[in-house]
Structure 1
Amino acid sequence: MHDPLNAFALGGDVYLDGAKTGPLAGLTFAAKDVFDVAGYVTGAGNPDWRRLAEPARHTAWAIGTLLESGARLVGKTHTDELTRGIFGDNSHYGTPDNPRAPGHVPGGSSSGSAAAVAGGLASMALGTDTAGSTRVPASFCGVFGLRPTLGSIPMDGVLSQSNTFDTVGLLADDPDILARMGEALLRKKIKDVRPAQVVVLEDALAASDPAVAAAIEAALPRIKDAVAPIVRGRRVSPVPLADWVEHQNAIQGREAWERFGEWINNSNPRFGFEVADNFLRGSKVSNRTLSAARGFRLRARRWVQEALEGNAVLVLPTTPVTAPPVHSPRSVMWEIRHRIVSLTTIAGMAGCPQISLPLCTAGGLPVGLSLIGPRGSDALLLAAAQRIGKA
């Protein structure tokens, strides 16, 4: 496999031909190395997980569906360890190159999938998204990325860390290809349905770097022309968005520990510092803290639903920053991670679909502009991306 970007995982030489005919015939796709392929080990970005895992008995539903639709699998891609990262800098296997921002991280945890799409190594790619693992690399690498409505695409055969946040993620460099991919995986046709209004989340803009906020502002006329009238002056949250992060981390961390804790206790695996720290924090989340976080999530869902009233979609920066340079200090990256999750948690807490569109740049680096719709409005967001792309 020719891999100039270090996008493909160790043991990722997995090639499967799709059906001879179908809506995706002639297209290629890559899959994050947390999707099972029968007969192959799912490495999940960690050498000890890979060493101890058995070959998969079945192929993940999402991979099988794309193959049945005519697409060809060209390999499995790098991920942060057990999907527990947001920058794509794996301490064991290195960092995939970011084709649109050389010298900067690609974003994670679906790092290799975004790099493969941005670098032209695949027409589209499968990722996963818990706290931004598809949306962040889409933003940093300047490609289209969809986090679907929670539960809308089966997670069968996918290594999951948090069953109340995890979704399959879709990546492509072309909105029409992303829509065709979405039709196959969501099992519904993309119709040209429009929202009544596009609501700018002022608190999300305020939480972003000035250059990122300015880039989003400059792109709003394009959104108005292709999607719907713009509404200003609304905030999604009566409390600071930073408060959301604490509660998402509690739920996600506890669920990840419940998923992997026994294996960690028995295997004593090698982890990068932040991954080990994330698991340690998750192991210490008390039942009382977990209950409070779940209560907060119910309130957060109501706040998002209220913001979406009136047949609206929400617009915000996908990430409040551009991609940090590779090898940035860990202390700096931790602060950036917190800021990123303060935006990605909005759709995550609500279980809503979010699409990141590569419409902007700041300082020459890609900036994703995102649309969030009500639960079940995935097709509406994909249609909006198609109209914006044509505009």
Structure 2
Amino acid sequence: MHDPLNAFALGGDVYIDGAKTGPLAGLTFAAKDVFDVQGYVTGAGNPDWRRLAEPAKHTAWAVAAMLESGARLVGKTHTDELSKGIFGDNAHYGTPENPRAPGHVPGGSSSGSAAAVAGGLCQLALGTDTAGSTRVPASFCGIWGLRPTLGAISMEATLGQSNTFDTVGLMADDPDHLALMGEVLLRKKVKDVRPAKVVVLEDALEACDAAVVAAFDSVLPRLAEAVAPVTRGTRISPVPLLDWLEHQNAIQGREAWEKYGEWINLNNPRLGFEVADNFLRGSKVSNRTVSAARGFRLRARRWIAEALEGNAVLALPTTPVTAPPLHSPRSVLWEVRSRMVALTAIAGMAGCPQITLPLCTVGGLPLGISLIGPRGGDALLLAAAKRIGKA
């Protein structure tokens, strides 16, 4: 495998031809190394997980659906360890190169998938998204990406970390390919249906760098032309968005520890500092804290439902910054990570679909612009992306 971007995982030489006919015939795809492929070990970005794992007995539903629809699998891609990361740097296997922002991180945890699409190594890619693991790398690498409605695509035979946040993630090199991929995995047609309005989330902009806000404002006329009239002045939350981050971290951290804690205790695996810290903090989340976080999530869902009333979609920058430089100080990245997850938690808390569109750059670096739709509104967002692509 020719891999100039370090996009493909150790043991990721997995080539499987798809069906001869189908909606994805002639297209190639890669799969994040958390999706099982029968006969191959799923490495999950950690050498001890790979060492201890057995070859998969079944192929993940999402991979099988892509193959049955005609797409050809060209490899399994790098991920942050056990999908615990958002910048794409892996302490064991290095960082995939960002082809659209050389010298900058690709974003994670679906880092290799985004790099492979952005670098032209495949046209489609499967990732996962818990707290932004598809949306962030799609934004940083300047490609099209979708976090679908929670539960809309089966996670069967796919290694996640948080059952109430995990989704399969879709990435593509253009909106038409993303829509085709969506039709296959969501099992519904993308019809040209429009929302009534695009609502700008003003409090989301407050978490963003000034240059990101300026770039976002510059594309609003394009959204108004291709999607729907744009309205301003809406705040999604009566509390700071960093409160959303705190509650998502509590639920996600506890669920990740419940999934991996026994394995960690038994095997004392090698883990990068931040990954180990995340698991440790998750192990200490109290029942009372989790209960409060779940109550907050119910309120957050009501706030989002209110903002979506009147057949609206919500607009915001996908990330509050562009891709940070490689080897940025960890203390700098921690602050950036908090602001990023404060934005990605909006759709995550609600279980709503969010599409990221590569519509602008800041200082020559890609920046994604996002639309959030109602639960089950995935096809609405994919149709909007197709219109934007044509415009």
Q: Normalised by the size of structure 1, how large is the TM-score?
A: 1.00
Who is 1:126 aligned against? 126
Who is 1:26 aligned against? 26
Who is 1:303 aligned against? 303
Distance 1:16 1:41 in 2: 15
Task: For 1:23-172, list aligned pairs within 5 A.
Answer: 23-172=23-172
Confirm whether residue 333 of structure 1 aligns to residue 321 of structure 2. no
Please give the per-residue CA displacement for 1:232-260, whole angstroms capped at 9, x wherever unaligned: 10010000001110000000000000000
Distance 1:224 1:54 in 2: 51
Who is 1:224 aligned against? 224
- 1:182 Cα shift? 0.3
Distance 2:157 2:191 in 1: 29
- 1:207 Cα shift? 1.2
Q: Secondary structure at the match of 2:248?
A: helix
The AA in structure 2 aligned to 1:256 is A
Distance 2:201 2:173 in 1: 26
Distance 2:368 2:328 in 1: 21
Number of aligned residues: 391
Distance 1:341 1:172 in 2: 22
- 1:277 Cα shift? 0.4
RMSD (Å), alpha carbons: 0.4
Q: Secondary structure at the match of 1:356?
A: strand
Who is 1:285 aligned against? 285
Distance 2:308 2:189 in 1: 23
Task: For 1:251-270, list aligned pairs within 5 A.
Answer: 251-270=251-270
The AA in structure 2 aligned to 1:266 is L
- 1:56 Cα shift? 0.3
Who is 1:209 aligned against? 209
Distance 1:313 1:50 in 2: 41
Confirm whether residue 367 of structure 1 aligns to residue 367 of structure 2. yes
Q: Secondary structure at the match of 2:156?
A: coil
Distance 1:370 1:115 in 2: 19
Q: Secondary structure at the match of 1:244?
A: helix
Distance 1:337 1:111 in 2: 15
Unmatched 5+ residue regions in structure 2? none
Distance 2:58 2:35 in 1: 10
Q: Which runs of 4+ in 1 moved over 3 A?
A: none
Task: For 1:191-210, list aligned pairs within 5 A.
Answer: 191-210=191-210
Q: Normalised by the size of structure 2, how large is the TM-score?
A: 1.00
Who is 1:273 aligned against? 273
Q: Secondary structure at the match of 1:35?
A: coil
Distance 1:377 1:88 in 2: 29
Distance 1:284 1:61 in 2: 33
Distance 1:317 1:214 in 2: 10
- 1:350 Cα shift? 0.1
Distance 1:65 1:244 in 2: 34
- 1:36 Cα shift? 0.1
Confirm whether residue 248 of structure 1 aligns to residue 248 of structure 2. yes
- 1:32 Cα shift? 0.1
Who is 2:316 aligned against? 316
Who is 1:378 aligned against? 378
Unmatched 5+ residue regions in structure 1? none
- 1:185 Cα shift? 0.2
Please give the per-residue CA displacement for 1:126-180, whole angstroms capped at 9, x wherever unaligned: 0000000000000000000000000000000100100000000000010000000
Distance 2:108 2:262 in 1: 25
